[in-house]
Structures are given as structure tokens and as C-alpha cells.
Amino acid sequence: MKDQFSPDHIEMVEEFCQEIRDLLDELEPVIVDMGKGCGAEGQQEDISDDINGIFRLFHSIKGAAGFLNFPNIATASHSAENLLDLIRTGAMSLQPDHIDLFCQGCDFIREGIEHVCEHYEDEGLSTQSQVIRDRFLAAIEVDPQEAPEEQGPAVIDLDLDPASLISPEMSKNFVSESQDILQTMETALLNWLKDKGNQDLHGDVFRQIHSFKGNCGFLGFADLESLSHHLETAIDLARSGGAADPAKIADMALNLIDIYRETLADIGEGGPGKIEGLSIYLDMINDQLPPQDRVAQDVAGQEPDRLGDILVEQGAATKAEVDVGVAQQSRQLGAILVESGAVSHDQVDRALETQKERKKKKAGAGKVKATKRQDLRVDLGKLDQLIDLIGELVIAENMVVNSPDLEEMELDHFQKSSQHLGKIVRDLQEMAMTLRMIPVSGLFRRMIRLVHDLSRKSGKKVELILSGEETEVDKTVIETITDPLVHLLRNSMDHGIEPQDVRLEAGKESAGIIRLSAVHEEGNVKISIEDDGGGLPRDKILAKAREKGILQDAADMPDSEIYKLIFAPGFSTAAEITDVSGRGVGMDVVRQNINKVNGSIDIKSRAGQGTTVDLRIPLTLAIIEGMLVRCGISRYIIPIINIMESFRPNPGMITVGPDGQEVVKVRENLLPVVRLHDLHNVAPDNHELEKGILIVLEARGSNFCLLVDELLGQQQTVIKGLSDYVSSFGNAGGVSGCTIMGNGEVCLILDVQSVLDRLNEGGY
């Protein structure tokens, strides 16, 4: 393609693209800015400079594109010029949709630039160019006499496609902001449900829906806005003690939050943000309200336009039938009536059509509300880059401070400054790690809703008690444990907590208790799900495992191992599959997700008293505090969190077991000894325990001693993963990774847990 064009032409096009891009960057803000003041009376004077500037933009593009023989870009720019000229001369007044149009023009030109950069001609743009030209033409052809008269305040006309006005950036922000709002609202609603008389709690709910409505309106999502407006009214009435029943309203609001979420997801994927069956939801809300307070849906307000009424009107259903349907408000009225056989699908569809038509004229003006935020959303990729760079900085700092060139030199001032530098680097590192950390409260709050729904579905009363919500963990950890947490809670609800009568018989409170807690433990975060239900049925699990062929001999299996069987794929003890659980998929998901983040799962269960599931997940610290040790010529890093103490043993402390396992007695405790030189086959300085150093290591509650030749000191260690080749051997000899030393040497990081595992398996 490129060969057809002369180098001159190519150079010219590249220059063109660069210049026009700059020009667009400069003038687009002017266009948008001009949009803010437009529409109001007497503003035309002030914007003439802007208009001229924008005219020149399109003029320049037209000229340059013409020169380069890009007719499509040139003509599109020309049509923009025409409209601008009419506005400039006062033949037309500037309308909000004109701004919209100019923005579209700029977008087209940007696209055009990308296109010509690649192809050096603009033939491929003819369709888009035509579209743009038509739009400008249409805008010009609007009767200029009428437009200024009819012009209202600067309200964005919602009949226009609002999506074209909203940048992807804006809608992305809107979606994430709204999700936060909905989250808060959900929590507020559940609190309010518990204490309906509380005005403060009610206020919380009201504020959230109100700001949500504002945001929707601001961005022109008419469906979301009108639904929120209705809901707002309903919630308001529920407080003032009108005929509306707070409990019903709150339940309805919870259901609607799901609708909002779906719609937001749609918007997030670039959808128009329309709500299917909006009218039905609006009816649903109105039906909860006393007649005089119902939100007017029809501008005329004369025709009844509720679906039920229309069905009655068309003779498809009797009033009584409809009322029965209305009474079951939790589902779509139409669906209920079809199900109960009162009306047919066709009839409902017809009625829905009618309803749609009647609502077409419904007015909804966008309310402009600016929301201020204190925080800044940063691309996670950038953050990771920053953290990586700081990791490199730590290495570099180590390299400088421990430089071999400086060894054995007396450098008082250098020592002082390097210590200062070291402190700053460590602070920076800590800061960087916290950047990625978010509290688990958001995750936990979502569970409140889950438990609420499940408890309604199953009829079991359950109280969820949260603790440690403020515990912070890495964002990726939150993402990975969301699904497992849902499955575990469902399990607790479905299998753990017994039905009320069983509980009462067993002498327990009728309401079950599930505790969800998070706490930092060593380098991990521990998340516990604890229920006071019936406990895991050990025998049932064993029987099922034998049946599935997962397990042959279980004679000496500890309970904790038996419980772990429930994580096997396809394993379920449920007699029948409900929509909550029973397929045996859930626990497998839990296991896989936890494994993915190098976490572990422990289950404790006591029959009749409940089950506790502990998830331990590393905080994904890319940097650890490590102890540098030497064994022969090799150096290793041992994570400080695993080190309890170190000592040089007396001969009297050492005994050798019948199987040859050396054991050291440390303050009444007998600890097995692992020789690091055996582990990695290196030649040690000496083989006698008394001449080496024993380090007492601890991992998940078990201790052992590790024999090394020398302790070299404590240092910050940046973990570098082992290459895929090395890790493909599976557990690479008790090593979790490596690090680069100050002098550039590579040094292995010991994985205390896996050393211990192998010790327990009798590997040493």
C-alpha cells in the first residue's frame, strides 16, 4: 500500500496527522467549554471568538485535506464549516446538539487521521464522511426561524442519543462510581430494614438513591433516572409514614438494585443503558404507594397506563385476577398473570406495546449535578509498574550500599547518608505496597446481601456477624476470594445452618450465626467463615468419597484431611440439587481460586456445633524482610516471619531418633533438624550440629530447626519468581523464589512451609 505513494506524500501525510492531532487537542476543550454556556440568552457575543477558532480548525483541516487529496475528510470539514458560519452570522443560534455534532466531527477527523496514517488515502472513509455530512446538513436544515423561539434552557434533549455525548471515560467513571453508591445503598437499606423507625438510617438510603438519580440524569440515562426518581419518591414516603410499608419498599429497593447493576454492567460494556420492562418496574413502585402520592408517568395524566389496568381495559383479565398478580409484586406482573393462566403471552405483549406507546411522551429532563470526589482512580497497570520500579530501587540501593568497592573502608559520612537513604527507600516501599491494598469491607458488605437473600430463599434465619472489615489486602486477593467466599457462605447457609425446628430441638437459638472475619496473621490474611450449624458429616463424606472412588482406605486419616475431600471436583453430599448448592462445583472453585494465590484452606468442624473454614492468603508482598544465611558457598534468604530464634546447640540438646532423624530439645520442645546442605546438596563448612547454627523456623504452627553455617544479616528482599523452567519441576526443592543481591549475585529464598511439608512426609 505504502509503495504506491511518493515519499513526499507520505511525509506530508505524517506531518498532517501530527499537526491536526495537536490542533484537535487544543480546540476540542474549547468546543466542550462552549457547550456549557450555550443556549442561554445573550451568550452569542461571548462565544464568537470560540466559534471563529473552531471554524479555523475545520477550515485548516479542509484546506490541508484538500491539498492531500482526502476528499472525504475535506467535505466533512466543509459541512462543519457551513454550520459554524450560520451560527457565526447569527442565522442560527448555537444549540446543545450542535456542540454534540462538532464533537462528532472531531471524532470523525481523529478516525480519519488514524486511517490516512495507515493507508495514505481516505477512500475507506466515504460512508462515515457521508454520515457526518448528513448530520451537519440536517442541523442546518432545521428551520432557523423557529429554533431560537422554541429554545428552552440549556437542557440536553434526552431524545437525542445521549451515548454520543458521553465519552467512554465518563461512562466508565459513572459505572464505577454508581457501583459504589449502590453498594453503600444496599448496606444502608439492610440496616434500615432492621430499624425501620430510625430517621438517620433512612436518610442514608435516601441520600444514596438521590445522588444516584442525579448522576444518571447528568449523563442522560433516562431509564435509570426515571426508575430512580420513582424509587426515591417511594423511599421518601416510607419515612413520612405514608401508607407505604417501609419493609416492602426496602425489599423492592433491594430488588431494584439488581436491576441497576445489570443496567450498569450493560453501560460498562458500551450499551445504551436502557432498562427492559421499565414500565413494569415503575408500576411495581407505584403500586406500593397510596394513590395520591403516585408518581405521574403520563404528562396528560388522564389515561390509566398501568399494565394491569390495560389488561383489564382490553378485557384480557378481570380486575380480581390482576389484583392477585399485583399482590405478588416481587415478580413482573405480566409474567405472574401468564403463569396463573389468567392471560396469554400475546395479550401481555399487546398490552405492553400499548403501555409503551402511552409512555412515549413521558418527559424527563436531565438534572445537572456535579459530584466531587477526593480520590483518583489510577490504572492498576501503572501502579504495578510503580511497585516494580520501587522493587528495582530497593535492589539498586542494596547494590550501592553493599558495593564490594566500599568494603573495609571507613566511610562515616557515607554510612550516615546511606542509612538515611535506606530508611526513605523502605518507607517508600511500604507506601507502595499499601497503594494496592484495599480493605475487605466492600467484599464483606456484599456478603450481607447474599446472606439476606439466601436466608429469605431458604427460610432459615441467619445473622451474619462481620469483624475485621478494616483489614487491608491486595486488590487481586479481593478479586480472587470473592467467588470462594460466596460459595463458602452458600455452603454454610445450605449445609451448615440447620432448619429452625432442628436448631430448636438441639437447644440452639432459632437464628443461626455466621461469623465472617478477617485478620492479619504473619504474612497472610486469614479469612474465617464460622457457622454454628450441624458441622460437617464425617461419615457421609467418607461414604461419598468411597462411592466416587476418590478414596480407598480412610482408616487413619485425620479429620482435617477428610474434610478436605469436599474440595474435590464434583463432590457433593447434598441429596438433591437446589439452586443454592449441590452440584459439587462450588468447593472446587474455592480450592482452585485459593491455590491460585498460593493460599491454603483449613477446615475445623465439630458435629452439632458448627464448622470453621479458614482461608489463609499471602498478602502478595513482592518484598519481604529476610535473613541472609550461608551454607557452604551458597547463600539463602529465609523470610523473617518464619524465624523464631537461632542458636548454637550444645551436644546435650541433641538426640538421634531410631529412624536416624536428629532432634534438638529447645526448652522442653523436641524439634526435628533439617540440614540445609542435605536439602540442596552443597558442601557445608562442617557436618557437626554443634559447629553450625540452628535456626528455629515456624510455619503454620509447626516448628523445626534448620542447620546453616552462618547468619549474615537481615535485609529487605525483592522476590523474583523462579523462571517457568525451574518451577516446572513442581516444588523446586523448598525454594519459593530468588532475589538479586547487592553485589549482583542470585540468592534463593527458602520456602519454609514446603520444607516442613517434606519433612512431615519423611523426605529428610
Partner 1 sequence: MKVLIVDDEFIAQELLKGFLESYDAIWNVAINGIEAVEAFQLALAQRDPYDLILLDIMMPQMDGHQALREIRRIEAEEGIGGTDMVKIAMVTALSDAKNVMEAFVKGSCGAYLTKPVYPEQLHRVLLDFGLVDEK
Residue from 6, 36, 48, 363 touching partner 1 (CB under 8 A): that is 48
Among the listed ranges 20-28, 590-598, 648-656, 699-707, the one in contact with partner 1 (CB under 8 A) is: 20-28
Residues 245, 246, 248, 253, CA torsion sign: positive
Region for residue 282 given its phi and psi (left: phi exceeds 0; alpha: psi -120 to 50; beta: otherwise): alpha
Among the listed ranges 10-18, 328-336, 497-505, 664-672, the one in contact with partner 1 (CB under 8 A) is: 10-18
Q: Is 63 in the site for partner 1 (CB under 8 A)?
A: yes
Q: Is 12 in the site for partner 1 (CB under 8 A)?
A: yes
Output 19 or 588, the one with its CB closest to partner 1: 19
Output 62 or 133, the one with its CB closest to partner 1: 62
How far apart are alpha carbons 136 and 152 in whole angstroms?
21
Helices and strands (H and E) in the chain: how many: 26, 18
Per-position b or e across 93-122, b if 16+ CB within 10 A of its CB? bbbbbbbbbbbbbbbbbbebbebbeebbbb
Q: Is 262 in the site for partner 1 (CB under 8 A)?
A: no
How far apart are alpha carbons 725 and 106 in whole angstroms?
50
Q: Is 60 in the site for partner 1 (CB under 8 A)?
A: yes
Output 95 or 233, the one with its CB closest to partner 1: 95
Output 18 or 743, the one with its CB closest to partner 1: 18
Among the listed ranges 77-85, 357-365, 456-464, 750-758, the one in contact with partner 1 (CB under 8 A) is: 77-85
Find all residues with CB under 8 Å of 177, minimum gap 6, and list them. Answer: 215, 371, 373
Instruction: Report CA dihedral (541, 544, 550, 553) to the nearest 10 degrees.
Output: 70
* Residue 162 cell numbers, joined: 445521549
Q: Is 707 in the site for partner 1 (CB under 8 A)?
A: no
Q: Is 688 in the site for partner 1 (CB under 8 A)?
A: no
Output 18 or 595, the one with its CB closest to partner 1: 18
Residue from 20, 219, 275, 316 touching partner 1 (CB under 8 A): that is 20
Output 88 or 487, the one with its CB closest to partner 1: 88
Among the listed ranges 47-55, 249-257, 532-540, 617-625, the one in contact with partner 1 (CB under 8 A) is: 47-55
Q: Is 56 in the site for partner 1 (CB under 8 A)?
A: yes
Asked if 64 and 83 touch (Cβ cutoff 8 Å), the reply is no
Among the listed ranges 55-63, 258-266, 423-431, 690-698, the one in contact with partner 1 (CB under 8 A) is: 55-63
* Residue 84 cell numbers, joined: 459554524
Among the listed ranges 13-21, 202-210, 380-388, 709-717, the one in contact with partner 1 (CB under 8 A) is: 13-21
Q: Is 55 in the site for partner 1 (CB under 8 A)?
A: yes
Size of the site for partner 1 (CB under 8 A): 28
Residue from 5, 30, 32, 66 touching partner 1 (CB under 8 A): that is 66
Residue from 15, 161, 388, 645 touching partner 1 (CB under 8 A): that is 15
Which helix (H) or strand (E) covers residue 693, if one does? Answer: strand 693-699
Helical H runs in 240-306? 246-268, 278-287
Q: Is 450 in the site for partner 1 (CB under 8 A)?
A: no
Q: Is 47 in the site for partner 1 (CB under 8 A)?
A: no
Asked if 278 and 262 touch (Cβ cutoff 8 Å), the reply is no
Place of cell 399485583: 326
Q: Is 64 in the site for partner 1 (CB under 8 A)?
A: yes
CA angle 606, 550, 597 (to 5 degrees): 70
Instruction: Report CA dihedral (297, 298, 303, 304) to the nearest 10 degrees.
Output: -10
Output 76 or 628, the one with its CB closest to partner 1: 76
Q: Is 25 in the site for partner 1 (CB under 8 A)?
A: no
Asked if 720 and 665 touch (Cβ cutoff 8 Å), the reply is no
Sites for partner 1 among residues 182-211 (CB under 8 A): none
Nearest Cα residue to 475 out of 380, 599, 385: 380
Q: Is 46 in the site for partner 1 (CB under 8 A)?
A: no
Q: Minimum distance from CB of 30 to partner 1 (Å)?
A: 13
Output 65 or 267, the one with its CB closest to partner 1: 65
Which amino acid appears at position 487 of this protein? H
Q: Is 59 in the site for partner 1 (CB under 8 A)?
A: yes
Three-state secondary structure of 302-351: CCCCCHHHHHHHCCCCCHHHHHHHHHCCCCCHHHHHHHCCCCCHHHHHHH
How far apart are alpha carbons 276 and 469 in whole angstroms?
36
Residue from 16, 120, 136, 174 touching partner 1 (CB under 8 A): that is 16
Residue from 2, 46, 52, 137 touching partner 1 (CB under 8 A): that is 52
Find all residues with CB under 8 Å of 300, minimum gap 6, and list them. Answer: 361
Which helix (H) or strand (E) covers residue 190, if one does? Answer: helix 168-194
Asked if 90 and 121 touch (Cβ cutoff 8 Å), the reply is no
Q: Minimum distance from CB of 35 to partner 1 (Å)?
A: 18
Q: Is 505 in the site for partner 1 (CB under 8 A)?
A: no
Among the listed ranges 17-25, 113-121, 389-397, 613-621, the one in contact with partner 1 (CB under 8 A) is: 17-25
Output 33 or 427, the one with its CB closest to partner 1: 33
Q: Is 268 in the site for partner 1 (CB under 8 A)?
A: no
Find all residues with CB under 8 Å of 649, minimum gap 6, and list them. Answer: 664, 689, 690, 694
Q: Is 564 in the site for partner 1 (CB under 8 A)?
A: no
Among the listed ranges 18-26, 29-37, 280-288, 476-484, the one in contact with partner 1 (CB under 8 A) is: 18-26
Sites for partner 1 among residues 86-145 (CB under 8 A): 88-89
Q: Is 710 in the site for partner 1 (CB under 8 A)?
A: no
Q: Minimum distance from CB of 47 to partner 1 (Å)?
A: 11
Output 22 or 353, the one with its CB closest to partner 1: 22
CA distances to 162, 584, 627, 635 from 754, rounded to whole Å, are: 57, 29, 18, 18
Residue from 49, 262, 349, 521 touching partner 1 (CB under 8 A): that is 49
* Class of residue 589 by CB neighbours under 10 A (exposed 0-12, middle 13-18, buried 19+): middle
Q: Is 745 in the site for partner 1 (CB under 8 A)?
A: no
* Class of residue 503 by CB neighbours under 10 A (exposed 0-12, middle 13-18, buried 19+): buried
Helical H runs in 459-548? 475-491, 500-505, 538-548
CA distances to 8, 22, 61, 116, 202 from 58, rounded to whole Å, are: 24, 13, 5, 17, 53
Output 63 or 570, the one with its CB closest to partner 1: 63
Find all residues with CB under 8 Å of 301, minimum gap 6, and list them. Answer: none
Among the listed ranges 54-62, 155-163, 402-410, 635-643, the one in contact with partner 1 (CB under 8 A) is: 54-62
Q: Which residues bind partner 1 (CB under 8 A)?
A: 8, 11-12, 14-16, 18-20, 22-23, 48-49, 51-52, 55-56, 59-60, 63-64, 66-67, 81, 84-85, 88-89
